[in-house]
């Protein structure tokens, strides 16, 4: 079942509900906008729609919307009437860098017909306390996720767009430790970022510093100007 978050984001991209939940080529599409672009809002892992998107971009312009949680309010509900019992804010916050957790499994990006919109959101997560039907291992079940606000939307078409959005102030050659410090992300996430950028052709290995691999940006050859005949 789609969450309120999913529905709200879909509505932001295509307000005409007649354009929601369309069927195309055997696939269910979240929405199709007025320009014919296919909108896919993916709150779960991007890996689950990787093959679907790979097929769709062969003939269509596709926008994949990936919400990240910049701020989350956890609200526990009364199971009887679903009224709030208590709430608190989660200390965990996501930034643009967390998209690399998704991109390591979403090899279809970048593609000329694909736009990836990373949406930094504030959300409410509505929770229900455990009952006799709930597994004893789980402390709660998620009843719904609700969009409170959109803090930022970053639209990405290329690996260069993503690199620029990170605003990484790194030396000409750098390690993942330096990338992590420059972007304010943990080292393990910087390692995923470096792997993704290598796959996308944005970074290349240029050496080693102790046990750490050094990377640098791949230089883009300039086009030669045609001489006047």
Q: Is 93 exposed, middle or buried (0-12, 13-18, 19+ CB in 10 A)?
A: middle
* Contact by Cβ (8 Å): 62, 113: yes
Select from 60, 9, 54, 14 the least CA-distant residue to 34.
Answer: 14
Give the pLDDT confidence of 166-219 residue by residue, as tens digits.
Answer: 999 999 999 999 999 999 999 999 999 999 999 999 999 999 999 999 999 997
Q: Is residue 139 very low, low, confident or very high in pLDDT (cuts 50, 70, 90)?
A: confident
Helix 187-199, helix 176-183: angle, nearest 10: 110
Where are the chain's structural domains?
A: 4-157, 159-229
pLDDT tens-digit series, residues 100-120:
999 999 999 999 999 999 999
Average pLDDT over residues 125-147: 80
Tokens, residue 220: 């883009």
Amino acid 1: pLDDT: 60
Q: What is the pTM of this model?
A: 0.89
Strand stretches in 92-198, DSSP E: 114-128, 141-156
Question: Which CATH fold would you assign to the domain 159-229?
Answer: Arc Repressor Mutant, subunit A (1.10.10)
Residue 87, class by beta-carbon neighbours within 10 Å (0-12 exposed, 13-18 middle, 19+ buried)?
A: middle
Q: Which residues contact 192 (CB under 8 A, 6 or more apart)?
A: 100, 101, 103, 104
Instruction: Write the pLDDT tens digit of every residue in 70-107.
Output: 999 999 999 889 999 999 999 999 999 999 999 999 99
Q: Which one has a higher pLDDT value, 8 or 223?
A: 8
Peptide bond into 131 cis (omega under 30): no
Tell me the mean pLDDT in the region 36-60.
97
* 117: number of Cβ within 10 Å: 17
Residue 133 has pLDDT above 70, yes or no: no
d(CA 162, CA 180): 15
CA–CA distance, 10 with 40 (Å, rounded to integer): 8
* Per-residue pLDDT, 213: 96
On the question of pLDDT at 134 being above 60, the answer is: no
Taking alpha carbons only, the member of 53, 46, 43, 44 closest to residue 7 is 43
Alpha helices in 59-158 (DSSP H): 100-103
Residue 229 pLDDT grade (very low, low, confident, very high; cuts 50, 70, 90)? very low
């Amino acid at each position: 079942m789609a969450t309120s978050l999913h529905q709200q984001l879909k509505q932001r991209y295509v307000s005409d509900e007649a354009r929601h939940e369309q069927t195309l080529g055997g696939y269910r599409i979240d929405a199709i906008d007025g320009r014919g672009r296919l909108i896919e809002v993916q709150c779960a892992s991007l890996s689950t729609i990787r093959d679907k998107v790979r097929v769709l971009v062969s003939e269509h312009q596709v926008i994949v919307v990936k919400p990240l949680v910049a701020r989350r309010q956890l609200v526990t509900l009364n199971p009887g009437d679903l009224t709030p019992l208590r709430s608190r804010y989660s200390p965990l916050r996501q930034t643009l860098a967390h998209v690399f957790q998704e991109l390591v499994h979403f090899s279809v990006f970048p593609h000329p017909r694909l736009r990836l919109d990373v949406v930094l959101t504030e959300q409410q997560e509505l929770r229900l306390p455990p009952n006799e039907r709930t597994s004893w291992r789980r402390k709660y079940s998620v009843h719904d996720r609700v969009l409170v606000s959109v803090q930022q939307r970053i639209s990405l078409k290329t690996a260069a767009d993503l690199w620029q959005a990170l605003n990484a102030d790194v030396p000409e050659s750098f390690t993942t430790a330096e990338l992590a410090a420059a972007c304010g992300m943990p080292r393990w996430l910087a390692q995923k970022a470096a792997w993704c950028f290598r796959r996308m052709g944005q970074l290349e290995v240029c050496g080693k510093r102790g046990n750490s691999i050094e990377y640098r940006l791949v230089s883009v050859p300039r086009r030669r100007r045609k001489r006047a005949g």
